[in-house]
């Protein structure tokens, strides 16, 4: 388990016995419905927040965070339940009220010694998030697991392990920020709307769109065999100047009226990854990314809706077109994928899952996850905003993550893992 990180440092964490933290008051029991948008992405997401302030040590950190958890679980009671399978064969929450799993831990070093947590490093950061011994699948894991690790310098880390079926990024951020508000004795600024039945499938279901996000592409280029090499994780920083250059490159042939940072950055990394994996010109390649549907539903989802309000959209083209056509071509594909997301498309995606139970296929696919618009950095339990926050690892090898950081959070860090020889090519292609 011990693993050296890049600067040769070894993090050792001593764990106390895990305890269950139940809601402070009696909460509603029974089965809690999860929508088809929740079913689709039941992956485990691990995040770490590091806090440190000169005025205040970490002596009370465990007590404050644990007490606030008891209170916030009253509002978010399904998190104190357990995942189960319904009679329809879908995920559902059994609201037992038994509680979230909580672990107290101590580290052998100061927080600074763990290095740059903005880059996923499962070897080091994984020790700050509790893994349930012997849990082989998500039904054996509580929806929320929290670990508070105290460092010798007076700082502490909160490591969270949550199932994506409970929240998307916006919902998770609202939950963690509510937990922080309770810790500071404040009322919740965004009380959660727990009812997910507003996203029930229609009866009878109506599939009105072509849902290529589920299409299984044939790997003619044998890209999968490349992944037998050792995986290397890197982060690439795009500052406002670089992002401006990408936008100028997208606009230079006059094919586009406008473009956003997300569109140009996604196009740029999609092209670079396709080239680095040496896909054959006639190889189909797919880009998947989620769009926040909260405002696009008709009527819009209420503020505080705590389930997944994101829907996956996609773009599919041949690798040769992507790499040979002007940059504006790839940007336009992404713009079209965003435009495709309407109320009718999202309802159709919900119904598609109802009929087929299909999961999105990641064959010859790049899945981009954007955390750059999420304000996880505003979470405050009474020790100020986190000095650092970030994911422990990337959920799948096909995932690239966009995170914002730096002055006014205007830089975007692009995080990804690729087989070592492929990363070497990708790295060279990142020069603008």
Active site residues: 164, 380
| Tokens describing residue 384 | 């100020």
Question: CA–CA separation, 357 vs 346, rounded Å?
Answer: 15
Identify the H or E element spanning 303: none
Compute, in degrees rounded to 10, the torsion defined by CA atoms 356, 358, 363, 368: 130
DSSP result, 20-64: EE--SS----EEEE--HHHHTT--EEEEEEEE-BTTB-STTHHHH
| Number of CB atoms found within 10 A of residue 330's CB | 25
Cα 137 to its chain centre, rounded Å, is: 19
Beta bridge partners of 172: none
Whether 49 contacts 375, CB under 8 Å: no
DSSP result, 171-239: HHHHHHHHHHHHHTTPPPSS--B---GGGPPPSS----S--GGG-----TT-HHHHTTSPEEEEEEEE-
Q: 89 φ, ψ to 5°?
A: 80, 20
| Tokens describing residue 50 | 């590091």
**Residue in 133, 131, 127, 134 with CA at minimum distance from that of residue 105:** 127
Q: Number of helices and strands (H, E) in the chain?
A: 11, 16
Chain position carrying tokens 């933290």: 21
């Amino acid at each position: 388990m011990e693993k050296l990180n890049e600067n040769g440092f070894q993090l050792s964490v001593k764990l106390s016995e895990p305890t269950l933290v139940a809601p402070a008051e009696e909460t509603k029991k029974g089965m809690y419905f999860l929508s088809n948008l929740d079913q689709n992405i039941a992956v485990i997401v691990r995040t770490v927040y590091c806090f440190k302030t000169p005025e205040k040590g970490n002596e009370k950190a465990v007590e404050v965070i644990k007490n606030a958890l008891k209170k916030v679980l009253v509002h978010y009671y399904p998190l104190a339940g357990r995942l189960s399978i319904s009679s329809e064969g879908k995920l559902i929450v059994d609201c037992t009220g038994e509680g979230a799993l909580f672990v107290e831990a101590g580290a052998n070093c100061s927080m600074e010694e763990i290095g740059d947590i903005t880059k996923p490093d499962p070897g080091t950061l994984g020790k700050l998030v509790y893994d349930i011994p012997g849990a082989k699948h998500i039904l054996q894991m509580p929806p929320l697991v929290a670990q508070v690790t105290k460092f010798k310098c007076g700082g502490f880390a909160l490591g969270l392990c949550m199932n994506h079926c409970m929240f998307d990024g916006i919902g998770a951020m609202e939950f963690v920020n509510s937990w922080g508000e309770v810790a500071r004795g404040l009322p919740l600024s965004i009380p959660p709307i727990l009812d997910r039945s507003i996203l029930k499938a229609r009866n009878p279901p109506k599939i009105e769109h072509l849902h290529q996000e589920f299409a299984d592409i044939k790997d003619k280029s044998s890209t999968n065999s490349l992944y037998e090499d050792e995986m290397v994780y890197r982060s690439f920083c795009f500052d406002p100047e670089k992002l401006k250059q990408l936008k100028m490159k997208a606009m230079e042939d006059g094919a586009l009226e406008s473009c956003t940072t997300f569109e140009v950055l996604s196009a740029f990394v999609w092209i670079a990854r396709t080239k680095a994996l040496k896909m054959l010109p006639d190889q189909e390649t797919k880009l998947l990314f989620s769009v926040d549907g909260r405002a696009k539903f008709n009527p819009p989802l209420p503020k505080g809706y705590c389930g997944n309000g994101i829907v996956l959209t996609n773009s599919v083209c041949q690798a040769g077109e992507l790499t040979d056509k002007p940059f504006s071509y790839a940007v336009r594909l992404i713009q079209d994928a965003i435009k495709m997301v309407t109320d009718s498309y999202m309802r159709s995606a919900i119904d598609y899952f109802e009929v087929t139970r299909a999961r999105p296929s990641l064959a010859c696919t790049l899945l981009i996850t954007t955390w750059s618009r999420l304000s996880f950095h505003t979470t405050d339990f009474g020790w100020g905003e986190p000095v650092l926050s970030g994911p422990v690892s990337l959920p799948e090898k096909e995932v690239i993550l966009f995170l914002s950081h730096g002055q006014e959070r205007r830089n975007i860090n692009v995080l990804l893992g690729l087989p070592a020889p492929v990363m070497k090519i990708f790295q060279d292609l990142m020069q603008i």
